[in-house]
Structure 1
């Protein structure tokens, strides 16, 4: 049996790199040593620094010597009277502080991400979102979770789920009722609804009407696939076989208002439209026997992530805190 001589465990590629001019192996420095050096550099006193880092002075002195050997430069000048930073030490102190700060932030970011409190939240909403509560909820959420980026997207009236059904959003401001599977909701408040009719309509001179008063006219429809949602806004519960809805498709609230003004249809809409989007040529009427539309937070029932849970918590806390505002919104006048 022939004997084998010891060989360099590094491969040829590594040996070639070591032979290159100016090449140095990466320095592997324990972060604890960096912290200890910063303590000495800031205290300029080994005894005080040792007490600060809870280490024996002799052990601290040994760690600083090891660090200087690893760096390849003298970092501190030591005399019996004082400790000072060398020019190399001053430069190294700046880098050490930066490195420790970056590591601390990376660790904090990792912990936040592990808790689901970092990243992006895709927030969908139907026209109007959560009305006056919207900015309050968003401001509160951003203050609590500044590392979460909220990407907002408005969806047309044809998508009553505001992107939840297609998976385009993580959470959404939606209007109920909702007939789409696998979506959970939490009601924030109930928004009064009104009838919008042309100014020339035979009901235009009245203050209020019943749902049955309205079922003889064509009615606007967002062309949604959600039957429960469509049935509510088209007054289906007040209809029978002889008064089935004649639907006039719309793509937006403004288009709806223009169609009503032109006499092409009537509409059931939020009372907020009457107060914030006045339209010439239409009149708004209270509907005595028709409930309001609940505005809610919606999310995927099988994918409630920590960040979605936090958004829901913020929305509910704002709703509960702003009880007077909610009461005002729920009792918004339905006649002018």
Structure 2
């Protein structure tokens, strides 16, 4: 039997690519974390991580194990929420997952949820983030009811979905670069450092960005992999590099030290399309109710 703590420790190391950073995030010592990973690898029967003097990387077995570890942790969260819901007297619920990149366009989602709550106040609404790539399987398995997804990252062949918005990204750059606010071309940024999506967490976004740069005639100088939008924005503001972002509505500057610059030669392939997705065969009657108010 593999303890949940071992899975949590493994996920932390995989995401941080570092025992030191993961130990800080988990508030434990590095030797304790190292023993956890060693114990997990002994239980699994193979190496899950490759350790070098500079970083920690997943082995092929580790990559396969990581996706299942995420799923197990998510299922435990669902079980705990179910127990709380029943204990608090709710008989029905609507489980919604939102991909992290849609967060700057969340107002429409919150309005729809409030409309739903107004019409069906006895239904508990459960909302939490989940990467788009993990939502399809969860929807088909009826582990969740509604997903807000990046269409590029999800195979919707066996799902129902409705396009809700398309977003034209811009470039977030350090203010210290003093670029023209009227816009720049991608080629003009060829000698600048970039922060791009982590290929382990968002492989399609990583591949798309790399291909666009190469088609423009240069190989991007990768300064750091961005693991989430908030961390990426901080890194831009600190001058570490440029990043493609979705500019928040009516908020031209998120952090002091960062500016949003239009991209004059933006390829259509970089436009991001979002959708609401659900399974036509899911047992929840609340899916149709939510769609009726969205």
Smaller-chain TM-score bracket: 0.5 to 0.7
- Tell me by how many angstroms 1:309 deviates: 3.0
RMSD: 3.2
- Residue of structure 1 in register with 2:129 after alignment: 154
Distance 2:175 2:111 in 1: 36
Once residues 289 and 116 of structure 2 are traced to their aligned partners in structure 1, the CA distance between those partners, rounded to angstroms, is: 8
Which of 214, 235, 244 lines up with 1:239 in the alignment?
214
Number of equivalences: 193
Cα distance in 1, alignment partners of residues 221 and 283 from structure 2: 37
User: Distance in 1 between the 2:246 and 2:290 partners?
Assistant: 25
Whether 1:136 and 2:111 are equivalent positions in the alignment is yes
Shift of 1:211: 3.4
* Aligned 8 A contact 1:126 1:154 in 2: yes
* Contact 2:164/2:274 (<8 A) preserved: yes
Q: 1:136 to 1:122 in 2, by over 3 A?
A: same
Equivalent residue of 1:177, what SS?
helix
Give the C-alpha shift of residue 153 in structure 1.
0.7
- Structure 2: 5+ residue runs without aligned partners? 1-90
Tell me the residue number matched to 2:17: none
Structure 2 CA distance for aligned equivalents of residues 166 and 185 of structure 1: 14
Asked if residue 269 in structure 1 is aligned to residue 245 in structure 2, the reply is yes
- Answer whether contact 1:129 1:173 (CA < 8 A) is retained: no
1:280 corresponds to:
256
- 1:177 alignment partner in structure 2: 152
Q: Please identify, of 263-272 and 128-137, the stretch whose mean Cα deviation from structure 2 is larger.
A: 128-137
- Tell me the residue number matched to 1:145: 120
Q: Partner residue of 1:313?
A: 292
Instruction: Report the Cα distance in structure 1 between the residues aligned to 2:289 and 2:235, rounded to whole angstroms.
Output: 41
Higher RCO by CA contacts (8 Å cutoff, separation 6 or greater)? 2
Alignment match of 2:274 (pick from 272, 289, 295): 295
Contact 2:163 2:274 survives alignment (8 Å): yes
Q: Deviations along 1:259-295, whole A, 9 cap, x unmatched?
A: 1122222111111177176211112101233354223
Q: Find 2:182's aligned residue among 202, 207, 220.
A: 207
Q: TM-score, normalised by structure 2?
A: 0.54
Which secondary structure state, in structure 2, belongs to the residue aligned with residue 287 of structure 1? coil
Structure 2 CA distance for partners of 1:251 and 1:165, relative to 1, 3 Å:
farther
SS at match of 1:146: coil
| Contact 2:97 2:128 (8 Å CA) reproduced | yes
Q: Which has the larger radius of gyration?
A: 1
Relative to structure 1, is the Cα distance of residues 129 and 267 closer, same or farther in structure 2, using a 3 angstrom cutoff?
Answer: closer
Shift of 1:165: 4.0
Change (3 A) 1:242 1:223: same
Equivalent residue for 1:189, pick from 153, 165, 186:
165
CA distance in 2, matches of 1:302, 1:289: 42
TM-score (norm 1): 0.48
Q: What is the aligned partner in structure 2 of residue 259 from structure 1?
A: 235
Question: What does residue 52 of structure 2 align with?
Answer: none
Q: Using a 3 Å threshold, how does the CA distance of structure 1 residues 226 and 258 change in structure 2: closer, same or farther?
A: closer
Measured in 2, the distance between the counterparts of 1:143 and 1:179 equals 31
Please give the alpha-carbon distance, in whole angstroms, between the structure 2 residues aligned to 1:248 and 1:165: 30
